Chains A and B, each alone.
Chain A
Amino acid sequence: MKLLILLVVVLGLVAAVQLSKVYQLSISLRGKREEDISEADNRLNGGLFLAFMVAFYVSFVVLLVKYGSYGTPPASEHGVAVDRLMDFNMAIIFVVFFIVNTLLFWFSAKYYHRADRKARFIAHDNRLELIWTVIPSVVLAIIIAYGLQTWNEMTGEASEDALRVELYSKQFDWTARYPGADGEFGQANYNLITPMNALGIVTEDGVAAALTEIEEKIAKVEEEINYEKGHLLAEWAAIEAELNDDHGHDDHSHDNHGHDDHGHDAHADDHGDGKQALEARMAEIEHMLESDKVNILTEAAFEAKEDKLYRLIRHRQRIQEIRNFDFDGELTAWESGMDDQIVKGEFHLPVGREVEFVFRSRDVIHSAYMPQFRAQMNTVPGVPTRFKMKPTITTDSMRTVLENPEFDYVLLCNKVCGAAHFNMQMKIVIESQEAYDTWLSEQGEFIVKEGSEEPEMEQASAQKESQTITASL
């Protein structure tokens, strides 16, 4: 089959070459040259430009009529302003689009080449050029002024009583967090992320667990370094040499005191004790060499391990510092996080109340895009971002408007973040304040206080669910 296709292609190519040769021979015989475009051809191409223009405009209008709404109507306060600004700009660019393209195609069609004509020799005209510098400048000044006015309104400070919601992104899902009754988000740190604590909210246990974990890692690497065979043998040989050396001359002046790791800089210590220590170390090394922990590393690998150890210790330092965090003097960092409410799959907002989103990201850059609200902001690991908006239409009203009982608002990811980027979404529900309050009160708190049932299970099962969703993508 493939051979057949190849054959057809090759034959077709040969045929095309031969045909072209015949064609070329025939025009050469008639004395025609490629660069001589006949009047018929010029007229044809000019006419085609006009035909193209008409077809272009007609399809534009058809598209505009069929698909010209900006998706769904704006469901936020600033969204209305944005759409108005969009209409304004679109009106201007439509006008320019039609004028310029029409002139272009029309002149092309009108002034096609005729042997008996000569083009008009006109090289410049300052007045004309002034006109088409000044008019665009004025129009642009208006566009800029109007645009920046809308921009400033959108990006101003959120009001004091705005609801604050954290949106947290990771490959490949979203999590929303509400601050709970105290109105404060608990501090979070990426070092404290575990399957049970997907946002890394700071808790005392969390810090302790993270420290234990990193201590284990440090211990493991230290062990690998300490049990490296080559280095052990070298140390052993060095000690032996030193001991032999010491027999010869009994002074303290030589500085070859063995391996620096073992703190042999105490020149004043009793010579006998020093010797004993060295011998003990030799015995220890012999013992170590027999253990099954011994490993052999190349010099490069050994250095990499040392580097890793250094980094782990530095990392441990950072985790320890989480403890030093002081929160407003009133609540400790961990206390304020206890009542935070964490939701997945969908999140709710009350209609008509300003909400300020705070965005965080766990791994790569994502972008929180809410097309129906004309809202978007990147989520950047290590750099929190914000966006405020006021939803104005409840999900139910929008369903009525669109005559689509299935309709839902969505939060999408709009910055490529990996294989399942195209499916990283979360449902948004806009509802009345009462409905919202009810919904919120049903969401569990991060750490359920003593006495109540249901410990962090809810969390864990949500986590599992999301994992299966991701896995089945």
Chain B
Amino acid sequence: MGAQAHHHEESFVSKYVFSHDHKMISKQFLVTAIVMGIVAVMLSVFFRLQLGWPGESFAILETFLGKWAPGGVLDRNAYLALVTIHGTIMVFFVLTGGLSGTFSNLLIPLQIGARDMASGFLNMLSYWFFFFSSVIMILSLFTEGGAASGGWTVYPPLSALPQAMPGSGMGMTLWLISMVLFVVSSLLGGLNYVVTIINLRTKGMSMTRLPLTIWAFMVTAILGVLSFPVLVSAVVLLLMDRTMGTAFYLSDIFIGGEALDVTGGSPILYQHLFWFLGHPEVYIVLLPALGISSEVIATNARKPIFGYKAMVGSLLGIGFLSFIVWGHHMFVTGMNPFLGSVFVFTTLLIAIPSAVKAFNYITTLWQGNIRFTPAMLFSIGLVSTFVTGGLTGIILADSALDVNVHDTYFVVAHFHIVMGMSAIFGMLAGIYHWFPKMFGRMMNTKLGFAHFWVTIVCGYGVFFPMHFVGIAGAPRRYYEYSNFDFLGSVMDLQPLISTFAIVGAIGQLFFLFNFFYSIFYGQKSVQNPWMSNTLEWTTPVRHVHGNWDGPLPEVHRWAYDYSNPVHDADFVPQTTPALSGEEVH
């Protein structure tokens, strides 16, 4: 490619719409994800209103949901549809497409010293598949029978039989189509990321000098490439059961006053296929967040990340193990108890690399010189939620205990804290940290502080009490609980939880305002505002095609020489050659 200072005129369309430039595509992913995130949060506030104050009328529900909330009271089917679409959007659109799409795209070429992704065209396609998949998912909310309502896992037969519930009609079909497009997007993106990391590293950027962000993105992409195709199989078989009279998942069913003529299938088969993706998926959501926080914590603690090799090893370990634990979602499906034991064992093994990561983060803070940028606050928050939520995973992995808490609010608490909060915190940390790189301007720090404190207080406020609700025996995906007096006083927590949810949602306005305001009016950024070592901060603030005006940078050291006593400055960019006699990593 050579020196790339040429600037041909670009039309609006090729620059902003069908751009092949990874930096622009990353911004497209981010803005789409933020819009989807707003929808998903609003949906959760809607159904939290019903859970907090069951049966009460809220004018806002009728305004937004119309016939789904007659008289301001949420309809029972609509409740399930909202929960389902909330979960689907959060997991896939915000935290898979949004998180990986934004930061893998932005950072992989910039941090490994490449001019762009291996294939800019496939990268563009990846975004547009994501975009259309998002549009279809949103449209499904407006179908006659409502959106898919069987939970984000859409287990058949419920999801296979339109007779079973209104949400299993057109809404379900759109859900499945949207998912297929989504997987295409993920695969195009994932293959591109892996190929780019392996082939396009600049001179001196050996694998062991890669920033942990890149390692995390790579493991994530590999997980996605290996597991998403299995989801497609599951989804396609389900589509066939729905439309072509096959019986992959169906057998011996009597519904709607009629015995169906399907036999021989098994609903459990779907669950195996789904969770073969589903469990790696939770790491697809989490690992990029861990990568981002590793980078942010090292930079802002002004210390090398502690135990770089162990961090890489634990990423690989988690990645590998995540493929052999899916059965922990199926302990009560009637699976052979011995098989259950195997999954107990493999699942609990994951706690070891996870513990290593947590302790390494904490040791990185120890004796650091911590600068509390908003990104740093969110990264520290991430470590807390990762530990708090991860620990309850030990309970759920223990099949004997899972029997009693499976599908209760205990699970909801667990995965929101360990996956929801951690990954959202990682994503927000990434946005605050790399905003200057994306938009050439700074976000307002004070608003960032306010945003963080509201978010962590409300986040824990919402999800921590849910453990107690769940352990008392409250099932999830319930429209209301007033029919059970054995739950007793624990239900007093519901209005409290909903209040935190509402305040937390409103608190996100700090962020939204800051984000959109700063794109246009934020303080102009300097080249390396955080005094960071990684390569992206050696590019000009103004975006150029090919990333570097001159030749590609050459790398002489790893990314974590912070406060290295051999050097005067407290950071040593990767492009700095070794001093004479210095031993470099």
Is B340 interfacial (CB 8 A cutoff)?
Answer: yes
CA distance A52 to B392 in the complex (A): 21
Interchain residue pairs with CB less than 8 A apart (28): A20-B444, A34-B523, A35-B442, A35-B445, A42-B372, A70-B472, A96-B387, A97-B387, A104-B387, A111-B366, A121-B564, A132-B359, A136-B352, A140-B351, A147-B401, A151-B341, A190-B254, A359-B334, A362-B255, A371-B404, A371-B472, A376-B403, A382-B250, A383-B267, A386-B334, A413-B475, A416-B80, A419-B77
Minimal Cβ-Cβ distance residue in A for B509: A16
> Is A68 interfacial (CB 8 A cutoff)?
yes
Q: Which of A176-184, A267-275, A309-317, A332-340 contacts B (4 or more CB under 8 A)?
A: A309-317
The answer for the CA separation of A263 and B392 in the assembled complex, in Å, is 71
B contact residues around A13 at 8 Å (CB): 513
Taking a contact as CB atoms under 8 Å apart, the answer to whether B444 and A93 are in contact is no
Which A residues, 353 to 381, have Cβ-Cβ distances below 8 Å to chain B? 359, 362-365, 367, 369, 371-372, 374-378, 380-381
Tell me whether B348 is interfacial, beta carbon within 8 Å: yes
Interface residues of B in 480-508 (CB under 8 A from A): 480-481, 483-487, 489-490, 493
Contact B344 A148 (CB under 8 A): yes
Say whether A318 contacts B263, CB under 8 Å.
Answer: yes
Contact (Cβ within 8 A) B449 A101: no
Do A118 and B369 touch across chains, with their CB atoms under 8 A apart? yes
Q: Which of B253-309 contact A (CB under 8 A)?
A: 253-255, 259, 261, 263, 265-268, 301-309
- CA of A362 to CA of B334, assembled, Å: 16
Closest 9 CB pairs of A and B: A382-B251, A371-B473, A385-B334, A155-B337, A34-B442, A45-B372, A71-B472, A120-B367, A422-B478
Closest to B570 in A: A118
B352 with A371: CB separation less than 8 A: no
Cβ-neighbour of A171 out of B164, B456, B480 (below 8 A): B164
CB contact under 8 A between A124 and B252, given known A56-B460, A63-B468, A82-B400: no
Partner of B352 from A28, A140, A190 at Cβ < 8 Å: A140
Residue of B nearest to A56 (CB): B460
**Min CB distance, B528 to chain A, in Å?**
9
> How far apart are the CA atoms of A161 and B337 in the complex, in Å?
22
- Complex CA distance for A82 and B487, rounded to whole angstroms: 19
Pair B407/A120 contact, Cβ less than 8 Å: no
- Given A378-B332, A386-B334, A417-B158; 8 other pairs, CB 8 A cutoff: A17-B517, A41-B372, A97-B387, A120-B366, A120-B368, A148-B341, A362-B254, A371-B404
Instruction: Tell me the bound Cα distance from A125 to B80 in angstroms.
Output: 50
**What's the least CB distance linking B148 to chain A, in Å?**
11
Contact between B464 and A85, CB atoms less than 8 A apart: no
Q: Mark B150-185, 1 if CB is under 8 A from A, else 0.
A: 110001011001001100000000000000000000
- B359: chain A residues at CB < 8 Å are 100, 128-129, 132
Measured in the bound complex, the distance between the Cα atoms of B493 and A188 in whole Å is 44
Q: B158 to A416, Cβ gap below 8 A?
A: yes
Contacts of B305 in A (CB 8 A): 123
The answer to whether A364 and B161 touch across the interface, beta carbons within 8 angstroms, is: yes
Contact A382 B363 (CB under 8 A): no
How large, as a class, is the contact surface on chain B?
Answer: 35 or more
**Inside 8 A of A249's CB, which chain B residues have their CB?**
none
Residues of B within 8 A of A (CB): 76-77, 80, 150-151, 155, 157-158, 161, 164-165, 245, 250-255, 259, 261, 263, 265-268, 301-310, 332-334, 337, 340-341, 344-345, 348-349, 351-352, 355-356, 358-363, 365-373, 377, 380, 383-384, 387-388, 391-392, 394-395, 398-401, 403-404, 406-408, 442-445, 449, 453, 456-457, 460, 464-465, 468, 471-473, 475, 477-481, 483-487, 489-490, 493, 513, 517, 521-523, 526, 529-530, 560, 562-565, 570, 585
When distances are taken between beta carbons in the complex, the residues of chain A under 8 Å from B369 are 111, 113-114, 117-119
Given contacts A120-B303, A363-B164, A419-B80, contact A414 B253 (CB under 8 A): no
- A56: min CB distance to chain B, Å: 7
Say yes or no: B267 contacts A380, CB within 8 Å.
yes
Shortest CB-to-CB span from B58 to chain A, Å, is: 15
The reply to whether A16 and B483 form a contact with Cβ atoms under 8 Å apart is no
Contact of A101 among B259, B267, B384 (CB under 8 A): B384
Given contacts A45-B449, A67-B493, contact A118 B563 (CB under 8 A): yes
Residue A324 at the B interface, CB < 8 A?
no
Chain B residue contacts of A56, Cβ below 8 A: 460
Query: Contact at B407–A367, with CB atoms within 8 Å?
Result: yes
Chain B residue nearest in CB terms to A210: B259
Whether A421 pairs with B301 at a CB distance below 8 angstroms is no
Docked Cα-Cα span, A105 to B363, in Å, equals 12
